[in-house]
């Protein structure tokens, strides 16, 4: 369990710091965020990177950094906290690919990182027997008793 906590902490810190820099760059220069022209947003509801930058900075950046810090305290509900920000990353990447109408290697890498975080978060939920995994485990035990 210690390895899972350590790996999740590292992944959340990595994603969070990267999102803070990316979101910060978009907030500081919304017309040309980190060298990307706002023209690539033509298929999105945004005319520049300000709103996406704020979302990236706060939800993905601060959320993941705070999640990484909370791993130090091994909270009972750490699996839920980690899962929320894992799925936020996955959804962010999917929406970003749809809005930009493209997929590049960074999208693939961060999508995979989000999936790994989500799987590890589910493992924590199973180990701690928290909802909804407790229902799955009880159902599994019931099926095995009947056989």
Whether 134 shows a pLDDT value over 80: the answer reads no
For 64, other C-beta atoms within 10 Å of its C-beta total: 26
Whether 131 shows a pLDDT value over 80: the answer reads no
Indicate the Cα dihedral angle 40, 45, 50, 51, nearest 10°: -140
Structural domain of 39:
2-146
Is 147 or 58 the better-scoring residue by pLDDT? 58
Is 79 in contact with 130 (CB distance < 8 Å)?
yes
Segment 102-111, tens digit of pLDDT: 999 999 999 9
Mean pLDDT of 121-145: 82
SS3 per residue for 33-58: ECCEEHHHHCCCCCCCCHHHHHHHHH
pTM metric for this prediction: 0.88
Task: Output the CA–CA distances (angstroms, integers) from residue 125 to 69, 85, 114, 132, in the order listed.
Answer: 19, 15, 16, 8
Segment 76-100, tens digit of pLDDT: 889 999 999 999 999 999 999 999 9
**Total number of residues shown for the chain:** 147
Note the pLDDT of residue 7: 97
Note the pLDDT of residue 126: 85
Note the pLDDT of residue 48: 95
Number of domains into which the chain is organized:
1
The region of weakest confidence among 14-18, 55-59, 97-101 is 97-101
């Amino acid at each position: 369990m210690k390895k899972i906590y350590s790996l999740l902490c590292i992944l959340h810190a990595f994603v969070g710091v990267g999102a803070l820099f990316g979101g910060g760059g978009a907030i500081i220069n919304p017309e040309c965020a980190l060298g990307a022209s706002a023209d690539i947003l033509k298929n999105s509801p945004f005319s520049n990177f300000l709103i996406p930058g704020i979302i990236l900075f706060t939800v993905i950046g601060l959320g993941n950094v705070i999640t990484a810090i909370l791993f130090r305290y091994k909270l009972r509900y750490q699996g839920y906290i980690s899962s929320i920000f894992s799925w936020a990353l996955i959804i962010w990447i999917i929406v970003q690919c749809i809005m930009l109408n493209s997929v590049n290697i960074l999208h693939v890498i961060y999508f995979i990182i989000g999936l790994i975080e989500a799987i590890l978060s589910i493992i924590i939920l199973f180990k701690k027997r928290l909802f909804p995994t407790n229902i799955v485990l009880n159902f599994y035990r019931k099926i095995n008793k009947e056989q």
